[in-house]
Amino acid sequence: MEKLLITGGTKLNGVVRASGAKNAALPILAATLLTKELITIKNLPHLHDITTMLELLGSMGCGVSLDEKMSVQLDVSTLNNCEAPYELVKTMRASILVLGPLVSHFGKAVVSLPGGCAIGSRPVDLHLRGLEAMGAKISVDSGDIVASVDGRLKGARIFFDKVTVTGTENLLMAATLADGQTILENAAREPEVVDLAECLIAMGAKITGHGTDTITIDGVEALHGTSYPVMPDRIETGTFLVAAAITGGKVKVIDTDVKSLESVLAKLEEAGAKVSTGENWIEVDMEGRRPKAVNISTAPYPAFPTDMQAQFVALNSVAEGVGRVIENIFENRFMHVDEMLRMGADIEVTGNTAIIRGCEALKGAPVMATDLRASASLVLSALVAEGETKIDRIYHIDRGYECIEEKFGSLGAKISRVLN
Q: Regarding beta strands 346-350 and 353-357, do their DSSP bridges make them parallel or antiparallel, or are they unpaired? A: antiparallel
Residue 406 contacts residue 12 (beta carbons within 8 Å): no
Of residues 157, 153, 160, 158, the one with CA closest to residue 134: 153
Of residues 317, 347, 315, 339, the one with CA closest to residue 389: 339
Q: SS3 breakdown of the chain: % helix, strand, coil, rounded to 5? A: 35, 25, 40
| HSE of 29, CA atoms in CB hemisphere, 13 A | 33
Buried b (16+ CB within 10 A) or exposed e, 283-305: bbbbeeebbbbbebebebbeebb
Tell me how far apart the alpha carbons of residues 391 and 405 are, in angstroms, rounded to a whole number.
12
DSSP letters for 50-88? HHHHHHHHHHTT-EEEE-TTS-EEEEGGG----EE-HHH
Residue 229 contacts residue 255 (beta carbons within 8 Å): no
Could you say which of 117, 199, 359, 403 is catalytic?
A: 117
Tell me how far apart the alpha carbons of residues 411 and 29 are, in angstroms, rounded to a whole number.
31
Peptide bond into 302 cis (omega under 30): yes
Is 82 one of the catalytic residues? no
Coil, helix or strand at residue 326: strand
Residue 98 contacts residue 108 (beta carbons within 8 Å): no
Give the single-character DSSP code of 124. -
Which positions ≥6 away from 77 have C-beta within 8 Å? 36, 37, 63
Query: Hey, which residues are catalytic here?
Result: 117
